[in-house]
Amino acid sequence: MGYLQIPGLGKVHYHEYGSGDKPMLAFHGYGMTGRQFHVLEQSVLSLYHVYGFDHFFHGWSELEGWSEKQILSGMPRELVKQYAEEWFKIHGRQRISLMAYSIGANLALILVEEYPELIDELILMAPDGLEGYKVFKFLQHELMGKLLFRTATKSKWLAPMLLKMVRRFNFIDDSLYTIAYNEIDTPKKRHDVYYSINLIKHLKPDIPKVVELINRYHIKSTFIFGKDDMLFPMKTVVPILDQIKNAQVHEVPMGHWLVTHALDTYLINLS
């Protein structure tokens, strides 16, 4: 493990694992840490040495000197580039690959924009960023959404009630309900959700540019979706995927919770 000290941001902690010798920078999903991908032992870790970064308000990464006002205003998109720049200072400027799950895909896609000539492979699982999640946009940018989000964060009963409501109207399934409830069942967890979702509000990739760069630099690209994923289903981004030359696209019989031993087995059977 190690840390990147990013000026104007803070300490970004990363985990190291994998028996391969090719470097891969990895970005996890909400509620996890940079160790999330350790279950992909046979399929990915046999080929790559993974550097899995902890998001802020997750694991051991720490914002330094940020006020609540700054956090709620969001992290400047330009700072994502510094993840790679600081990593290069430690490990040398070299070719890399990228892997990400869910909200972590936003950071990986921004790095595609910044370093297309250095990227060998891109693996995205249940990715945010290709189209975006309308609920996040509402909570991050709309006046009523921001007010509701702040109020729910400070209330013991409002957030669970809203979660039950969206499940009742089939906006999420039982598995997503369980995952989400486990992230809001204490005041600290609700606080961390509020800060986390606001901090990343500006980390949105330019998808037409990403598609053009993937094609121009022949970046090997793999996209994996859960057939029963209600957050980031494949069907909403098919027009984008169709523009990427030689993209490997897989829809597996799973929900949003994709990074599992079962996915490792699925990927091994493809090879």
Residue 13: which of 80, 83, 81, 113 has the closest Cα?
A: 83
CATH superfamily of 2-132+204-270: Alpha/Beta hydrolase fold, catalytic domain (3.40.50.1820)
User: Which residues are within 8 A (CB) of 38 and not within 5 positions of it... i.e. 6 or more apart?
Assistant: 17, 45
CA distances from 246 to 131, 157, 240, 242 (A): 20, 48, 13, 9
For the CA atoms of 222, 228, 229, 234, the dihedral, rounded to the nearest 10 degrees, stands at 40
Are the C-beta atoms of 27 and 104 separated by less than 8 Å?
yes
Type and span of the H or E element at 119:
strand 119-125
**Global confidence as pTM:** 0.89
Tokens of 201: 């509000």
Q: Quote the distance between the C-alpha of residue 266 and its chain's center.
A: 21
Type and span of the H or E element at 189:
helix 187-199
Q: Tell whether the model's pLDDT for residue 77 goes beyond 70.
A: yes
Q: Which pLDDT score is estimated for 170?
A: 64
**Which tens digits make up the pLDDT trace of 242-253?**
999 999 999 999
Are the C-beta atoms of 120 and 220 separated by less than 8 Å?
yes
Query: Taking the CA of residue 238 as centre, how many other CA atoms within 13 Å lie in the half-sphere pointing to its CB?
Result: 5
CA distances from 88 to 22, 94, 190, 191, 207 (A): 14, 7, 35, 33, 25
Confidence of residue 231 (pLDDT cuts 50, 70, 90): confident
Q: Which pLDDT score is estimated for 23?
A: 98
Which segments of the chain belong to CATH 3.40.50.1820? 2-132+204-270
Of 6-10, 127-131, 223-227, which range is least confident?
127-131
Query: Which carries the bigger pLDDT value, residue 157 or residue 217?
Result: 217
Tokens of 154: 């400070």
Q: Which pLDDT score is estimated for 270?
A: 79
End-to-end CA distance of the chain: 30
Instruction: Count CB neighbours of 132 within 10 A.
Output: 16
Q: Which pLDDT score is estimated for 188?
A: 79
Q: Tell whether the model's pLDDT for residue 151 goes beyond 80.
A: no
Q: Tell whether the model's pLDDT for residue 121 goes beyond 80.
A: yes
**Which tens digits make up the pLDDT trace of 14-29?**
999 999 999 999 999 9
Query: Which residue type is seen at 126?
Result: A
Are the C-beta atoms of 56 and 62 separated by less than 8 Å?
yes
Q: Which pLDDT score is estimated for 230?
A: 83
Q: Which pLDDT score is estimated for 133?
A: 57
Distance from C-alpha of 171 to C-alpha of 177, rounded to nearest angstrom: 10
Distance from C-alpha of 166 to C-alpha of 153, rounded to nearest angstrom: 17
